[in-house]
Amino acid sequence: MSGATTVSEYQATHTVPGRMGIWWFLASEIMVFGGFLAIYILYRMASGGAWAEMANHVSAPIGTFNTIILLTSSLTMVKAFEAIDNEKRKQATNFLLITVILGLAFLGVKAFEYSSEIALGFTPLSGTFWAFYYALTGLHGLHIVAGVIFNASLLVMAMKGTLWPNTQHRVEYAGLYWHFVDIVWIFLFPLLYLSY
Amino acid sequence: MTEQKNAENGHSEELSFWRKYVFSTDHKVVGKQYLFIALFMAILGGVMAYYMRWQLAWPETAVPGAGWIPEPTAFGGIIPPEFYNALTTMHGTIMVFFVGMPFLLGAFGNFLLPLMIGAKDMAFPRLNMMSVWTLFLASLVMIASFFVEGGAASAGWTGYAPLSADPIHTGVTWGLNLWILGLALEFTSFLMGGINFLTTTITMRAPGMTMYRLPLMVWMQITAAVIFMLSVGPLIAGAILLLLDRTVGTGFFIPELGGDPLLWQHLFWFFGHPEVYVVLLPGFGAIMEILPVFSRKPIFAYKTIIWSTIIAGALSFLVWAHHMFVSGMDPRLAMPFSITTILISVPFAVVIFAFMATLWGGSIRFTTPMLFALGTVMTFIVGGATGIFNGSAPVDIFIHDTHFVVAHFHFTLFPDVFLGGFAALYFWFPKMFGRMMNETLGKIHFWVTTIAFNAVFIPMFVLGLGGSMRRVYNPLQYDFLKPMQGINEFITYAAIVLLLGQFIFMFNFFWSMFKGKKAERNPWNATTLEWSVSYPIPHDNFATIPTVYHGPYEYSLPGNKSDWQPQHEENEPVSG
Ligand SMILES: [Cu+2]
């Protein structure tokens, strides 16, 4: 971990500040999504059959497909980090590229899904379930967008070769964030697609 | 982040004016920027309080000094009900989020935390700079909301739905959207700050600075950061939903559309109660530094204080529904939330007793910071004790939404933010600006502020017990309130004295900054690390990182000739 030596000259612990900062950031994100999901579950429990009727119209196959895309991208992100750790630059660059492509694929599928739902008349104003559906997947989607931008910036640096020797540890931070967004989706998928 | 830190630590080149004073990554400059934002916003909040008080004492007469406000916000200085509602809303929002937090966490947290733990800067200096500029932007958004069509938010500082969820109720359109946006930016700013505080404290303490050697100010700052981080998330989610209700037309909080307005109250107070501790703890942290210095005694029960505040912080997540006893929630919840509320007073009572025990038998020096610190404790006790009234459902049902509640929370937040904040400012001013503030003016400021404050809010308890509703526009509309109008007038006179008294402070603050007596390195003979560096403190604080040998409050040690033992000196100081 470059830079760590200068920091540790006066450091009390050996934890790298960047990594700890990411963890605190994720802790606050957990509270945002945790609160959001708690609200959603409260509404779901308080509502009756109308909800099930609405929730029946989301496409579980598309959701499943997107889940697989996102899980795969988490795996390639781990591979990228592993390659960084083993000083395999070419391999790291390739895995970053696949991760970015999979992130974009997720967004593409999601956009297709939105447009087909809107075409069928299911908008955020079509009832409480749909309002939640768009709010939750929208917020999650924005997190994916942020993640793709961050990952892509690392990819560009990796391709130019400027990622080394000072900034490669950012792949680890990007990975932690990317896994978090992935885990949020793991909660969203059954709650939204299988809630009837 | 590390590579940029190296560049910054190894700075020898002259920084431009902009990088040095405006877009600075130096935690000390950032802290001062927070300070100025807080003081500026405090003036705004104070002026709003004055307009409201005038309206309550002499309803629907022209307010002197409000003639400049254009129609239709006000009419020749006469404040209409819509503007009055905006004033109550924005006064609360500004004082809690744009004064309390920037003053106590932003200014003193940033300025002191790296110095107190013996670090060269925050862990993420650029994030730190971003946090203060995000707050600056948030402040601009809040101020701008007064100037948009329909005026500023007027659904109360709590923004209760459905009042806030649909513009038809208040007539406020963009004002409330900007209110949500401004709060969102403010939350972001303090989340960034909190990440920095926590990471810095955990990873960058000087050698020998164990967690149990940290000054209590640092403990209070990081406890507040954790509480904020864990409580604000659900409200952010709720705020997104509220904004969707207002802009897209969803009905999350609108009953006609299948929504649940009560949920907003749950989300708001799940955050709102912990939030008062976010503001409270750093103010108490300042007191915890000041009491030992001017008693020349170690603080009483150091570890008990730490654990009491952590327990109180944890309990603060379990008390929120005490704000909702008359809201229509399930009445079976009243009992458990009354019990947790009464329980939470126990750790705070422990802290207050620790303060008193610190003073016991000490050789007390009544300097200005000490006066303000003692004033904080004395007035806070009233606020804390009346909180037990509000927190017990049977009593609360009688006094809910009356001026009793308003008096109560002003008795908790005012001593903490202003008396505690002033204590901190008078105390650390020499370290921030290299000069001493004038003691005589400081003492006059203290007595005017404390006496006027009590004259405002003690009668307000009486008003509340008499049934006077908070947020009421014109008390003379109600026959049963007419006999108490004299109290309202008295309160307004006292409030004007309270506000005018702050001119003493403002004069002292700016005059001392340029003309005050030059401060010595350690004017109060204090032990903590920030007093080991001389003004002006360089960007990287310590030429060599100090080694810490002692706890933070080693005063009047038996066998020592001098009555203080700096944390970074192995043996007692020679210049005793
Ligand atoms: Cu409360």
Give Rg (Cα) of chain A: 19
Tell how far the Cα of B98 is from the centroid of ligand 1, in angstroms.
Answer: 20
pLDDT on residue B155 = 93
pLDDT on residue A138 = 96
pLDDT on residue B413 = 96
% of chain A residues with pLDDT over 70: 92
pLDDT on residue B574 = 55
Residue contact B248–A13, C-beta within 8 A: no
pLDDT on residue B324 = 94
Residue contact B244–A124, C-beta within 8 A: yes
pLDDT at A2 over 50: no
Closest partner CB to A18 (pick from B1, B230, B236): B1
Which of B128, B187, B199, B544 is most worth mutating to test chain A (most A CB atoms within 10 A of its CB)? Answer: B199
pTM exceeds 0.80, yes or no = yes
List, in order, residues 6 or more apart from B81 with CB less than 8 Å away. B473, B474
pLDDT digits (tens, 9 = 90+) for B81-135: 999 999 999 999 999 999 999 999 999 999 999 999 999 999 999 999 999 999 9
pLDDT at B1 over 60: no
pLDDT at A14 over 70: no
Q: Identify the CA nearest to B454 among candidates B527, B389, B381.
A: B381
Average pLDDT of span A56-63: 90
Closest partner CB to B230 (pick from A31, A47, A139): A31
pLDDT on residue A54 = 83
pLDDT at A4 over 70: no
pLDDT at A11 over 60: no
- Written in H, E and C, the secondary structure of chain A is CCCHHHHHCCCCCCCCHHHHHHHHHHHHHHHHHHHHHHHHHHHHHHCCHHHHHHHCCCCHHHHHHHHHHHHHHHHHHHHHHHHHHCCCHHHHHHHHHHHHHHHHHHHHHHHHHHHHHHHCCCCCCCCHHHHHHHHHHHHHHHHHHHHHHHHHHHHHHHHHCCCCCCCCCHHHHHHHHHHHHHHHHHHHHHHHHCCC
pLDDT at B573 over 80: no
pLDDT on residue A8 = 38
% of chain B residues with pLDDT over 70: 97
Please tell me whether residue B442 adopts helix, strand or coil conformation: helix
Query: What does the CA dihedral B20, B25, B28, B34 come to, rounded to 10 degrees?
Result: 100
pLDDT on residue A13 = 56
Q: Binning pLDDT at 50, 70 and 90, where does residue A57 land?
A: confident
pLDDT digits (tens, 9 = 90+) for A175-192: 999 999 999 999 999 999
Average pLDDT of span A20-41: 95
pLDDT digits (tens, 9 = 90+) for B129-157: 999 999 999 999 999 999 999 999 999 99
pLDDT at B8 over 70: no
Tell how far the Cα of B356 is from the centroid of ligand 1, in angstroms.
Answer: 25
Q: Binning pLDDT at 50, 70 and 90, where does residue A53 land?
A: confident
pLDDT at B14 over 80: no
pLDDT on residue B375 = 97
Q: Binning pLDDT at 50, 70 and 90, where does residue A27 land?
A: very high
pLDDT on residue B50 = 97
- Give the H or E element holding residue B312: helix B302-315
User: For residue B227, what are the CA distances in angstroms to A6, B134, B316, B561?
Assistant: 32, 20, 9, 42
| B477 close to A (CB below 8 A) | no
Task: Give contacts of A188 with chain B, Cβ < 8 Å.
Answer: none
Q: Identify the CA nearest to B369 among candidates B504, B524, B217, B205.
A: B524
Per the structure block, which two tokens stand in for B282?
Answer: 């750093």
Average pLDDT of span A134-150: 97
% of chain A residues with pLDDT over 90: 70
Count residue pairs from A and B with Cβ separation < 8 A. Answer: 143
Q: Binning pLDDT at 50, 70 and 90, where does residue A1 land?
A: very low
pLDDT digits (tens, 9 = 90+) for B40-75: 999 999 999 999 999 999 999 999 999 999 988 999
CATH assignment of B28-532? 1.20.210.10
If one compares A162 and B285, the residue with the highest pLDDT of the two is B285
Tell me how far apart the alpha carbons of residues A69 and B377 are, in angstroms, rounded to a whole number. Answer: 58
Delimit the domains of chain A by residue range: 7-193
User: For residue B74, what are the CA distances in angstroms to B70, B82, B88?
Assistant: 6, 9, 15
pLDDT digits (tens, 9 = 90+) for B485-534: 999 999 999 999 999 999 999 999 999 999 999 999 999 999 999 999 99
Q: Binning pLDDT at 50, 70 and 90, where does residue B4 land?
A: very low
Residue contact B238–A35, C-beta within 8 A: yes
Q: What is the mean pLDDT of chain B?
A: 93
pLDDT at A114 over 90: yes
Tell me how far apart the alpha carbons of residues B564 and B576 are, in angstroms, rounded to a whole number. Answer: 8
Average pLDDT of span B406-420: 97
pLDDT at B241 over 80: yes
Delimit the domains of chain B by residue range: 28-532
pLDDT at A196 over 80: no
Q: Binning pLDDT at 50, 70 and 90, where does residue B5 land?
A: very low
pLDDT at B419 over 80: yes
Interface pTM (ipTM) of the complex? Answer: 0.90
What DSSP character marks residue B108? I
Query: CATH homologous superfamily of domain A7-193?
Result: Cytochrome c oxidase, subunit III, four-helix bundle (1.20.120.80)
| B residues 256-275 closer than 8 Å to A (CB) | 257-260, 263, 267
Residue B13: CB atoms within 10 Å: 6
